[in-house]
Structure 1
């Protein structure tokens, strides 16, 4: 893969579902399907919305290790990203990724205490395409 930022970024942008993973108190991985990231900075930083009251948020607060998987089932290729997940509740970040229609999930609007942002900082990944896998790191 000549340009992981472009190749992986394009794959992420075309998906309607992201699978994020946390670690529970017994050390087991937990996976969850999510809406795709609201914003990304290259492939180094991805921002997701979620409920502050969710189990996943509690797990990330205890153990920030995380991964995310994006799959293009049409061409049978995918990417697994590993890194850390931060739970952000500051108004600037929440406003940055807020969209019209989010009141469907967060009835009190952008200041809803049950609305927070997950900031995923990627360290490395593994890309699968054409019957082979390739590891890469993010600077």
Structure 2
């Protein structure tokens, strides 16, 4: 892969479903389908919105180790990113990824206590395409 940020970023930008992984209290992996990321900064930082009251949020607070997976079913390729997930509840972060229509999920608006931001920080990944896999690191 010549330009991992361009290749993987392009894949992330086209997905309709994201898969996020967390670790439960017993040490088992948990996977959840989510809407696409709200924002990304290269492939190092990826932002999602979710409910503060969700099981996943409490898992990330207890153990920030995480992974995210994005796939392109048309070309049968995908990428798994490993890293950490932060739960952000500050006004700046919440406003940063807020979109019109989010009131459907968070009736009290951007200040809704049940609205938070998940910020994924990528450390490494594995890209699959054309029957080959490639591991890579992500620098700061």
Q: TM-score, normalised by structure 1?
A: 1.00
Offset, 1:131? 0.2
Partner of 1:99: 99
List alignment gaps of at least 5 residues for structure 2.
Answer: none
Secondary structure, counterpart of 1:12 in structure 2? helix
Runs of 4+ in 1 over 3 A off after TM superposition: none
Offset, 1:19? 0.1
List alignment gaps of at least 5 residues for structure 1.
Answer: none
* Structure 2 Cα separation of the partners of residues 36 and 81 of structure 1: 14
Coordinate RMSD, CA, aligned: 0.3
Partner of 1:16: 16
Secondary structure, counterpart of 1:43 in structure 2? coil
Partner of 2:77: 77
2:125 matches 1:88: no
Q: Give the total of aligned pairs.
A: 139
Partner of 2:27: 27
Secondary structure, counterpart of 2:87 in structure 1? strand
